[in-house]
Amino acid sequence: MQTECSAGAYEFPASCGRRVVARFDGGRMSSDGGVILVKQADDILGLSRRFAACFRDKRHPGFVEYRVEDLVRQRIMGLALGYEDLRLRTH
């Protein structure tokens, strides 16, 4: 039995001022484009923000380049994309 698709494309809310569309006619390909949707979910749920609030940042403020929330978000996005060996950049 052949599968029939009812839609050629799925439209999602814009992200960073860009149109977001999922299409399934690209053949065999891979992309990290799904991270845009994960980011939108994180923005709505506030997961990174709430999780980062669980940590006490003991770093010297004069040397801090990235907020704890940014580092947590980077790790969450990396894991969501399947990069389990992602190394955080803290310097």
Q: Give the pLDDT of residue 62.
A: 94
Residue 74: closest CA among 88, 55, 90, 54: 88
Angle subtended at Cα 36 by Cα 85 and Cα 49, rounded to the nearest 5 degrees: 70
Tell me the average pLDDT of the chain. 80
**Cα gap 82→79, rounded to integer Å:** 5
Other residues' Cβ atoms within 10 Å of the Cβ of residue 6 = 4
Q: Give the pLDDT of residue 21.
A: 77
Is residue 77 a contact partner of residue 38, using CB atoms and an 8 Å limit?
A: yes
Percent of the chain with pLDDT over 70: 77
Asked if the model's pLDDT at residue 84 lies above 60, the reply is yes
Mean pLDDT for the stretch of residues 1-29: 71
